[in-house]
Amino acid sequence: MATKTGEGFSSSFGAIMAAAGSAVGLGNIWRFPYICGKYGGGAFLIVYIVFVLFIGMVLMMGEFVIGRRSGEDPMKAYPALKPKRPGWKYVGLAGLMTCFLILAIYLVISGWTLNYFWESLTGRLAGIADSDFGEHFKQFASSAGRPLLCVAIFLALTALVIVGGVDKGIERVSKLLMPILVVLLIALCVRSLTLEGASAGLSYLFKPDFSKLTGEGVLAALGQALFSLSVGMGVMIVYGSYLPKDDNILKTSLWITVCDFAIAILSGVAIFPAVFACGQDPTGGPGLVYQVLPVVFNSMGTIGRIFSITFFLLLSLAALTSAISLLEALTQWFSGKRLGRTGSALTVSLLVIFLAAAASFSFGDGIWSGFKIAGMSLFDLLDKLTGTILPPVCALMTIIFFGWVMNKEDIIDELSNHGMVKIGYFKLFYHILARVVAPLALLIVLVAGIIGG
Ligand code: PFF
């Protein structure tokens, strides 16, 4: 048990499941397939793998080290490791604020997913004509009551797990849900791959088309790598503070990274062959899951209904374990303010539901869609801030702290479990990746992003 509060994961396996639960989410199943297809399939994949391994995973190890070494929440962790530089606590604070914003928008999309799961289960989706799915989604997402109800239910489920505690709540639920998720996803892949015409979907996903890999695509790959691995915002500092003392940080990070990547790929394999086999448009963008896939499911008859229920259940479960990690990061921080676990989980939930409601009302033709900030609706603003701007900024600050400010001896001691584990990779990891490659790449992406508007 690493934290000052004595809470922590009970085993390395539990820690891996919980952190992989955080990583695997809407980002893998909803976002990855359409960005990958959009920016050149296999060409995007090559860049993505490089970013995941050499930047995302390095950050994850860095956050685990910061979290376990300090045993503190992100805001206290930085000054705890470098007492002479208390200003670094603002990096922790910025990460937590980013978590709050991500959680708000994440809840809205998770709410949609829950609604689609319900509508699949009750047969409502099966009764909609193919040409009406676009309108159905727009009407639902732009209405006020139902999306908010779905957000509230989803948030209540998330908070319930948090109140259960780190090992009895988060770890237990993740150990149960992650294997279920993998089984559901594999079942979907098998079905999708056995449809006639499935191979066109595979080549869309995997065949490298370098002409589509624009500068924007490279930026999207880095943003996606950070978002998907849940790094940069401090969530992995929080989970790091719960890691068992004898956990091998390199191995744990590798497992999480491999799991996250494999699930993103499998999601593409489950989605695109089916989309192509049913003659649908693969470039559906964010609407792919809510507007294109239901058409695909409906065209498959009875099996399509099972396919649909399974898919939206899968997506809801994946979103749940990610939302749990976001709420946990904020809850841990608030608990430090004498509120206790239950009190702080409830306080954060209450605060975040207001923002989620406002974001939901501002979506599409929603009742607050006329209210614009910098020319954008609140939903679009949050999407932009949390998707492309804040995570790389926070990630850059985190890696600078890790590579240039934190004591190297502390890092060696933590990665080697006080000399018990060999760390022959340290030179490459620390001197090349953590100090040079990762910060430079993040800086370039940020500057390019700002210049490109
Ligand atoms: N990694 C999650 C996903 O791919 O959906 C989203 C996420 C969770 C991002 C937690 C950031 C975070 F701190």
CA-nearest residue for atom 10, ligand 1, is: 230
For residue 25, give the ligand 1 atom closest to its CA.
Answer: 5
Mean pLDDT to the nearest integer, 260-272: 92
**Domains, the chain:** 12-452 (1.10.4160)
> How far is Cα 58 from Cα 400, in angstroms, rounded to an integer?
12
Give the closest residue to 355 by CA, choosing from 98, 95, 74, 29: 98
Q: Give ligand 1 pocket residues (Cβ under 6 A).
A: 22-23, 25-28, 99, 102, 227-228, 230, 233, 235, 322, 325-326
Task: Rank 2-6, 118-122, 175-179 by mean pLDDT and report only the highest.
Answer: 118-122
The residues near 330 (Cβ < 8 Å, ≥ 6 apart) are: 96, 99, 100, 103, 344, 348, 352
End-to-end CA distance of the chain: 45
Distance 127 CA to ligand 1 centre (A): 33
Cα–Cα nearest to 35, from 287, 385, 285: 285
DSSP classification of residue 132: G
Its sign, for the CA torsion 296, 301, 304, 305, is positive
Inter-CA distances, 251 with 56, 167, 256, Å? 15, 20, 9
DSSP collapsed to 3 states, 53-67 = HHHHHHHHHHHHHHH
Q: Which of 181, 322, 385 has most ligand 1 atoms within 8 Å of its beta carbon, as the pocket-test mutant?
A: 322
Of all protein residues, the one whose alpha carbon is nearest to atom 12 of ligand 1 is 230
Which residue has 């649909």 as its token pair?
A: 308
73 vs 78: CA distance, rounded Å = 9
pLDDT digits (tens, 9 = 90+) for 172-196: 888 888 888 888 889 888 888 888 8
Give the least confident one: 13-22, 148-157, 216-225, 234-243: 216-225
Cα–Cα dist 414/283, whole Å? 45
Query: Minimal CA–CA distance to 231: which of 447, 70, 402, 3?
Result: 402
Ligand 1 atom nearest 229 alpha carbon: 1
CA 25 to ligand 1 center in whole angstroms: 6
**For 376, which DSSP code?**
E
Work out which ligand 1 atom sits closest to the CA atom of 319: 5
Note the pLDDT of residue 286.
Answer: 67
* Tens digits of residue pLDDT in 406-419: 999 999 999 999 99
Average pLDDT of the chain, as a whole number: 90
> Cα of 278 to ligand 1 centre, how many Å?
31
Joined together, the tokens standing for residue 91 give 């990096």
Query: Rounded to the nearest whole angstrom, what is the distance from the C-alpha of residue 387 to the centroid of ligand 1?
Result: 10
Q: How confident is the model at residue 452 (pLDDT cuts 50, 70, 90)?
A: low
Helix (H, G, I), strand (E, B) or coil at 300: coil
Q: What does the pLDDT look like over 244-258, one tens digit per residue?
A: 999 999 999 999 999
pLDDT tens digits for 277-296? Answer: 878 777 766 678 888 888 87
Atom of ligand 1 nearest to the CA of 391: 11
Q: Which ligand 1 atom minimizes the distance to the CA of 260? A: 4
pLDDT, residue 1, reads 42
CA distance 144 to 124: 19
Of the candidates 44, 42, 94, the one whose C-alpha atom is nearest the C-alpha of residue 401 is: 94
Question: What's the pLDDT at 284?
Answer: 66
Residue 420 contacts residue 246 (beta carbons within 8 Å): yes
Of all protein residues, the one whose alpha carbon is nearest to atom 11 of ligand 1 is 230
Distance CA 79, CA 330 (A): 18
Max CA pair span of the chain = 65
Find out whether 94 and 393 touch, Cβ atoms under 8 Å: yes
How far, in Å, CA of 153 to CA of 146, rounded? Answer: 11
**What burial class does residue 287 get, using C-beta atoms within 10 Å of its C-beta: 0-12 exposed, 13-18 middle, 19+ buried?**
middle
Model confidence band, residue 2 (pLDDT cutoffs 50, 70, 90): very low
Let me know if 422 is exposed, middle or buried by CB neighbors in 10 A (0-12, 13-18, 19+).
exposed
CA 52-57-62 angle, to 5 degrees, is 150
pLDDT 10s digits, 21-53:
999 999 999 889 888 888 988 999 999 999 999
pLDDT at residue 336 greater than cutoff 90: no
Which residue's CA is the nearest one to ligand 1's atom 9? 230
